[in-house]
Amino acid sequence: MAKNNYEFDFQPAAWLPSRDVEMLDRVRNIKREDMEYTNENGYSVRVVMDPTMILVQDIFHRIYLSDVEDKRVTMIFPNQWPAVYSAVAEMINRCNVNCRNVHAFAMDEWADQDGNVAPLTYGAGLGFSFRKHFYGKIREDLRPDVEHWHVFTNENKGDNVYSSLIEEIGGGGADVIYSATGWPGHTAFIDPCTKEFQADSLEEFCKLGSRLTTQMPLTICENSLFAPMGASGDVWAVPPRAATIGPRDVMNARERFEIHTFCNPGGDSWQRMISRIELYGPISMECPASIMRLKKGVCYVSEAIARPFGSWTKDIEDWEVTAL
């Protein structure tokens, strides 16, 4: 048993993927000045005021180089980031950057209870947003054929099909994968503790490719807070399954680029704890995004995510508590 609050010890709920209370206490109490590092694999953590524009610049720069150097660039993108994608498209248009060499892959897409992938006509769909706010905002004379903006479909949802396409086009893997860890520690829809991503070892887990998967409850709750689902906590509006890339695609990418910056008005965020588990906890299947740290990459953490935890319970120290 661990002390999670003053004079009240308890174990985390049994269904949570990470339940090592000593580890949880340790990462919860990491100080801002101890957060930045570069590990032996070339993975770095940097704390900045707001990583969003760094992300925009990195995407644009890679696309720009693909034009001036006339080289193919293969990129895996998360959803939904309409503000980021629209900003990149505007820079492409202003600088007259030709995207003929770009292959952009959406990392996931919703599916129904029977495994039918959401069509591109679905307004809350990830592929719909990816093509509308990114591809659709690029000037027609600068953008390639729409098929260069790859999305999940019922034709490519089978085990490893999408992964094989990424490897074929990207010469063994993508040049870069962009991500931002989700509430249960996922990247894409690679959730912990799902039957579709069961493995006997971390090594075996890292070899699993794209597939249909079932979303765990925390993922459904998280997505109910975003605009496509009404930003209302309407968990009933979130599809129960998804098609997603696999750990294999994270490992095969030549670089990994993450940002941790999700905040609610006022600065509170559901991402602050899982950011610490991913970046400072063990590399494990219980936090799939932690495998990012096995290869070269960078995670930019916002100052808002990095600030110390606060809790009304800390005020108890200043009170005289009397047992009733």
Q: What is the pLDDT of residues 174-223, one digit of tens each?
A: 999 999 999 999 999 999 999 999 999 999 999 999 999 999 999 999 88
Mean of per-residue pLDDT scores for the chain = 92
The residue with tokens 């990195």 is: 58
Q: Where are the domains of the chain?
A: 40-254+272-307
State mean pLDDT over 37-41: 98
* 256: DSSP letter: E
Q: In Å, how far are 180, 190, 220, 224, 229 from 233, measured between CA atoms? A: 20, 22, 9, 5, 8
State mean pLDDT over 142-168: 98
Position 287 confidence tier, pLDDT thresholds 50, 70, 90 = very high
- C-alpha to C-alpha distance for 266 and 249, rounded to whole angstroms: 36
What number does CATH give the domain 40-254+272-307?
A: 3.40.50.1360
What pLDDT shows up at residue 215? 94
Concatenate the DSSP letters of all residues of 140-195 into one string: TTT---GGGEE---TTT-STTHHHHHHHHHHTSS-SEEEE---TTS-STT--TT-G
Query: Quick one: which of 107, 146, 145 has its CA closest to 126?
Result: 107
Position 318 confidence tier, pLDDT thresholds 50, 70, 90 = low
What pLDDT shows up at residue 309? 83
Position 312 confidence tier, pLDDT thresholds 50, 70, 90 = low
Q: Residue 286, Cα to own-chain centre: how many angstroms? A: 15
For residue 15, count CB atoms less than 10 angstroms from its CB and return exposed for 0-12, middle for 13-18, buried for 19 or more: exposed
Question: Which tens digits make up the pLDDT trace of 22-34?
Answer: 999 999 999 999 9
Question: Which tens digits make up the pLDDT trace of 149-161?
Answer: 999 999 999 999 9
State mean pLDDT over 129-141: 96
Question: Which tens digits make up the pLDDT trace of 239-270?
Answer: 999 999 999 999 999 999 999 998 765 667 88
What pLDDT shows up at residue 317? 53
What pLDDT shows up at residue 229? 67
Position 59 confidence tier, pLDDT thresholds 50, 70, 90 = very high
* Range 262-266, long-range pairs (CB < 8 A, 24+ positions): 262/180, 262/305, 263/302, 263/304, 263/305
Model confidence, pTM: 0.93
- C-alpha to C-alpha distance for 39 and 46, rounded to whole angstroms: 12
Q: Residue 183, Cα to own-chain centre: how many angstroms? A: 9
